[in-house]
A = this chain, B = another copy of it.
Amino acid sequence: MSDILGRTGPNVHIYRNVTIGRDVTIGDNTIIYENVEIGDGCFIGPNCILGEPLASFYHEKHYENPPLRIGRNSIIRSESVLYAGSTIGDGFQTGHKVTIREQSQFGSHCRVGTLSDIQGHVNIGNYCRFHSNVHIGQKSTIKDYVWIYPYVVLTNDPHPPSECIQGPTIDEYAVIATGAIIMPRVKIGRDSLVAAQALVNKDVPPFQVVAGVPAKALCSIRDIRCKEGKLENPYPWRNHYSKGYPWQDGYDNAEGSSHPNPPGSSDHDLRPTNL
């Protein structure tokens, strides 16, 4: 099936002022609105919409679509909708049916799983991984190397509905497990772990594990053991997990990253498994 690669499928609809790099694949029925820029080597799946117009399109007579930029070697899977007005780094990957609204900034090498819903006006670092069905509210800040698991929601309104919108901040290497809800303005510290189904309504210190509704401090991440005994210390996870990270086979893999010196690279905790 490799003859699909680098081609444009049937019934693709491309509007004016679209820039498409070299070796780009565009799947059947995909729509690309005005002012979209797609980097070299991208794969855009079928039934995608790139450059979806903002809400003002429906009532502003002289609406102009703000630019959407997608970095090189990205894979956007089928039925994903990316709004106009966002900037996405190289090596980006999505699952299916992802929605990314306007004014989303993604660093390089991020992955956003199937059905995830990025509400826009967010700032996301490099090498972040969101699993399926993650919901990131507006005004959220997520730093490098963060993991977010299915059905996690980052909220932003302390007393809904209101105009007092302020999202959470998630620091480097933090892990937020399945179904957790992070309340507005909360800061999730570096290398911390939020347990599944937790409701986090106050700041989490670095290296802390929190759990429960509402979430309470449980222990240090260094106290966690692997019940199967396969790993002596599962946390910090970056000491044993390197799949797809710049510390995997040396930093050559990080080429194209907008982050030439990833935070992990100078960290004393960092012991790549393959070195």
A residues with a Cβ closer than 8 A to B are 1-2, 9-11, 13, 15, 28-29, 31, 33-34, 43, 46-47, 49, 52-53, 57-58, 61-65, 75, 78-79, 81, 95-97, 99, 114-115, 117, 119, 129, 132-133, 135, 147, 149-151, 153, 155, 158-164, 175, 177-179, 181, 183, 196-197, 199, 212-213, 224, 226-228, 230-231, 234-235, 237, 240-241, 243
Contacts and interface: CB of A to CB of B under 8 A. Distances in A.
* SS of A interface (majority): loop
**Complex copy number for this chain:** 3
12 contacts: A11-B28, A28-B31, A46-B49, A58-B75, A81-B96, A95-B99, A119-B132, A149-B155, A150-B153, A155-B177, A179-B181, A183-B196
Contact of A1 (B53, B75, B79): B53
Given A9-B13, A155-B196, 8 more contacts: A29-B47, A81-B96, A97-B97, A119-B132, A149-B155, A162-B231, A164-B231, A179-B179
